[in-house]
Structure 1
Amino acid sequence: MQFVLKGLSDRDDWAAGSSSGGATSWVDDICMRADSFEGFADVFETVLSRLAAASMTLKGTKCELLRERLDLLGFVVTPHGLMMQTPKLDEIMAKGIPNSAAEIKTFLGAVTFYRRFIPRLSLLSAPMTAVLKAADRAASKVGKRDHRGRFSYTLSDEEKESV
């Protein structure tokens, strides 16, 4: 699909809402954008001719045309660009403050998905990342089990000197 639509639009420009028109695809989904109805008709005609040249078809029952708002891949696509989906944001907020390493990982994963909307995310998430690193260091000091299930612990150089 990406080769059929190549050159119709730059995905970053399109996502930011700065492209005057074009099409982009995600696996088997095509999304077209234009500033006017005439512009959309031009883009649509180009996409259809390229699909026909590649012996590809569209299924009419799955096509949604001339939408001003579209939920797509965790985002809301509007004429102004991408926005966060409100239910997803509410879900993140409803979970509250993470209390364990697993909850921190889940929270950071969800927040990182929307990183383009959160200025200075790495700075804001640094304390939680530090907690995860400390937890990983503590877990590695506890030791590991070998392939037979026996517990083993390797001393660091500092620990060897102190013994």
Structure 2
Amino acid sequence: NCNEYFLSGNDLQKHLRAECYSDQIRKQILNSTKHIENPKYQLAIQDILWGNKILFDPTPSTINIPPQSAINTGDHLPIYSKQYPASYKDQDIKFQETQKLLERKKDKTMRFCIDYRRLNAITIKDAFPLPRIDEIFDQLSDAIYYTKFDFKSGYFQVPLSKEDRPRTAFSTRDNHYQFTVLPQGITNGPATFQRVINHILGPARWQYALAYIDDIIIYSKTFEEHVSHLNDICTILKNARFRLNPDKCEIARTQTDYLGHNIKHGEIRPSPTNINGLLNTRLPQTPDEACKFVKAAEYYRKFIPKFSQIAEPLRKFVPTTR
């Protein structure tokens, strides 16, 4: 209804981004900043988000970096896996070849998963380090304001090298396909994404921004600093062509949950949701259940005095080969 003519699909897409997405993005920006009580502060944050609104563009995008190599199988021959059986109602959406699964997400939509265990078994492991959790929280404990970003299907924004693409192959009843972006489930996915985000954040890392794989957080001691830091990181992510999920982002908060911990005014505690999950876990019935429970509880061992002594009775049932 705008009475405009477009010479190409690209021109139409640019128009849609500039005009038709504006109302949706404006609502998301207003909603993400409504908790900021100071009108001056609220406007400052809104100006930054609106100036970087392309970050919230729902159109799929890949970041502007060279395609990443993440699946080095050496001289191993290609592998083939039989399909999982699928119910009749899933036939139109369930892919087959390398084993696939459909996983229901919290919002009731379906996540397409591929069982890459056989591929992972022959993949040379990438030893690129992930940040230490204790060092991350040492940094965050000195801050007061936090912004947490959620990438929109973060792995799918990372281009995959042409050499690796055939190794991700799967097929439907009608055709054969392969990923052109980093798929979920491959053993080197976390290391690859960590390397990418470390490079993109650059000197900001450990100064006022951190990322544990695709969980990114900005932290500052004052609101004025946070405005500056937020602007810097938004600009960096925009220039890289990243896309964010606005519904899962938390902007300029004094309290947030990050990596299973609750952070408020620099004080770090275990996330109540995770603790309730542990408390509601049934008593371990098998060595495997005992092992899983101990590992889950061990994540919070610094908050549990004499954890080793308390966990010792369960450790006796954990196979020494684990």
Q: What secondary structure is seen at the aligned counterpart in 2 of 1:2?
A: helix
2:294 equivalent in structure 1: 108
2:225 equivalent in structure 1: 39
Measure the CA separation in 2 of the matches of 1:104 and 1:76: 26
Measure the CA separation in 2 of the matches of 1:124 and 1:62: 37
1:158 equivalent in structure 2: none
User: Which structure 2 residues correspond to residues 61-100 of structure 1 after superposition, within 5 A?
Assistant: 61-95=247-281, 97-100=283-286
Partner AA of 2:250 in structure 1: E
2:200 equivalent in structure 1: 4
Q: Tell me, yes or no, if the aligned pair for 2:290 and 2:314 is still in contact at 8 Å.
A: yes
**Aligned in 2, Cα 1:48/1:105: closer, same or farther, shift over 3 Å?**
same
Q: Deviations over 1:116-158 (max 9, x none)?
A: 4334433432332123248x7xxxxxxxxxxxxxxxxxxxxxx
% identity of equivalent residues: 22
**Aligned in 2, Cα 1:82/1:3: closer, same or farther, shift over 3 Å?**
farther
1:145 equivalent in structure 2: none
Q: What secondary structure is seen at the aligned counterpart in 2 of 1:82?
A: strand
Q: Shift of the alpha carbon at 1:47?
A: 1.1
Measure the CA separation in 2 of the matches of 1:99 and 1:113: 21
1:22 equivalent in structure 2: 208
Pick aligned residue for 2:240 from 31, 54, 72: 54
Partner AA of 2:227 in structure 1: A
**Aligned in 2, Cα 1:29/1:87: closer, same or farther, shift over 3 Å?**
closer
TM-score, normalized by length of structure 1? Answer: 0.59
TM-score, normalized by length of structure 2? Answer: 0.33
Measure the CA separation in 2 of the matches of 1:93 and 1:30: 28
Measure the CA separation in 2 of the matches of 1:114 and 1:80: 17
Measure the CA separation in 2 of the matches of 1:90 and 1:62: 22
Q: Spell out structure 1 runs of 4+ moving beyond 6 A.
A: none
Q: Shift of the alpha carbon at 1:60?
A: 4.7
1:154 equivalent in structure 2: none
Partner AA of 1:111 in structure 2: A
Q: Shift of the alpha carbon at 1:89?
A: 1.2
Q: Shift of the alpha carbon at 1:65?
A: 1.0
Measure the CA separation in 2 of the matches of 1:100 and 1:84: 26
**Aligned in 2, Cα 1:79/1:7: closer, same or farther, shift over 3 Å?**
farther
Unaligned stretches of 5+ in structure 1? 11-20, 137-163
**Aligned in 2, Cα 1:105/1:92: closer, same or farther, shift over 3 Å?**
same
**Aligned in 2, Cα 1:120/1:3: closer, same or farther, shift over 3 Å?**
farther
Computing the radius of gyration over CA atoms, which structure comes out larger, 1 or 2? 1
Q: Shift of the alpha carbon at 1:113?
A: 2.3
Measure the CA separation in 2 of the matches of 1:55 and 1:98: 46
Measured on the aligned residues, the alpha-carbon RMSD in Å equals 2.9
Pick aligned residue for 1:122 from 290, 293, 308: 308
Measure the CA separation in 2 of the matches of 1:59 and 1:97: 37
